[in-house]
Structure 1
Amino acid sequence: MSPVDPPETDPADRDPREQDLSRRSHAPAVSPWLVIGVVLMLGAFVYVASAYFT
């Protein structure tokens, strides 16, 4: 495994894909609203399923 930015290299010598990944890494991998939405959908599903099967 090689270091991300070796001391001897100029930033222009780095792989452009690596720069793209570093630019995108400032955002969270999963949006908090997505997690909240999934939890709410699961809750609604459990509510409907419990009402249906009892």
Structure 2
Amino acid sequence: MAADPQGTDPSDQDPHERDLSRRAGGGGAMSPWLIIGCIILLGLGVYVLSALL
């Protein structure tokens, strides 16, 4: 009986999945477009708030 669950051995994993995980990096980095989108939404919120006051 194997000590590790099935599918966790690197030789069992799909090479395409390994490429995706390597390309994704550590998984903690935010997309630059997400940051830009948040800044734009924040600007729109300030604009609407200033128009209402």
| TM-score where L is the length of structure 1 | 0.45
Higher relative contact order (CA 8 A, sep 6+): 1
| TM-score where L is the length of structure 2 | 0.45
